[in-house]
Amino acid sequence: MKPLQPGDALLIVDVQNDFIANGALAVPGGQEVIPALRRYLALFAEHGLPVFATRDWHPPDHRSFHAQGGPWPPHCVAHTPGAQFPEDLRLPPSAIVISKGTDPTREAYSGFQDTPLHDRLRTARIVRLFIGGLATDYCVLETVRDARTLGYEVYLLVDAIRPVNVLPDDGRRAEEAMVLAGAIPLCLERLAA
């Protein structure tokens, strides 16, 4: 693969307090993505390349919550500690934050759904997206699928994702689906080489 270059961006999906250890909807091993993502953040900073970060930013009555008949406990409610990025992720001040899932009546797993992400990426002339975060089998999967549909070259950061695994093989199946959609699996050692 070509080394990092202008037109590349790091996209961190939903690494928020509620999705890591002791969070309201903790992804098993979710906190393990943080050290890996920090290494990617350092590499992208070294090359002067942009960082985008999506976040669930739900109203308290979001349709995905149990009380509204949804599949999940309340999580990532806007302006609460659970919706914040973990301090040890250390996102740069220049990171462009994209809020999603803000409409109480609509589920939104993809970072592109009802957000300005695509417009912001086009404005920045981004061609290649390097995507990691949480969770493999939901928001990462749908963000990668939409990125491919929109024509981005996508690299899936396999050392910086973790699945929910509602069913035991959901994470593996999601990775296979992303590769089938055209995402290229990648780990830091190969990118930094």
pLDDT digits (tens, 9 = 90+) for 127-174: 999 999 999 999 999 999 999 999 999 999 999 999 999 999 999 999
Catalytic residue among 8, 14, 18, 137: 14
76 catalytically annotated: no
Interval 98-119: pLDDT, tens: 999 999 999 999 999 999 999 9
Distance CA 83, CA 85 (A): 7
CATH class given for the domain over 8-192 = alpha beta
Identity of the residue numbered 103: D
CA 177 to chain centre: 16
Structure tokens at 177: 């689906």
CB atoms within 10 A of CB 153: 18
14 catalytically annotated: yes
Q: What share of the chain is helix, strand, coil (3-state, %, to 5)?
A: 35, 20, 45
CA 30 to chain centre: 12
Interval 166-188: pLDDT, tens: 999 999 999 999 999 999 999 98
Contact 63, 105 (CB under 8 A): yes
pLDDT at 89 over 90: yes
Measured CA to CA in angstroms, residue 105 lies from 23, 43, 64 at distances of 23, 38, 9
Distance CA 178, CA 187 (A): 15
Measured CA to CA in angstroms, residue 99 lies from 29, 163, 168, 177 at distances of 23, 21, 29, 25
Task: Give this prediction's pTM.
Answer: 0.97
Catalytic residue among 100, 137, 146, 159: 100
Close Cβ partners of 167 (under 8 Å, ≥ 6 residues apart): none
Catalytic residue among 18, 56, 139, 146: 139
* Residue position matching structure tokens 């969070």: 23
Q: Give the model's confidence band at 1: pLDDT under 50 very low, under 70 low, under 90 confident, else very high.
A: confident
Identity of the residue numbered 169: D
100 catalytically annotated: yes
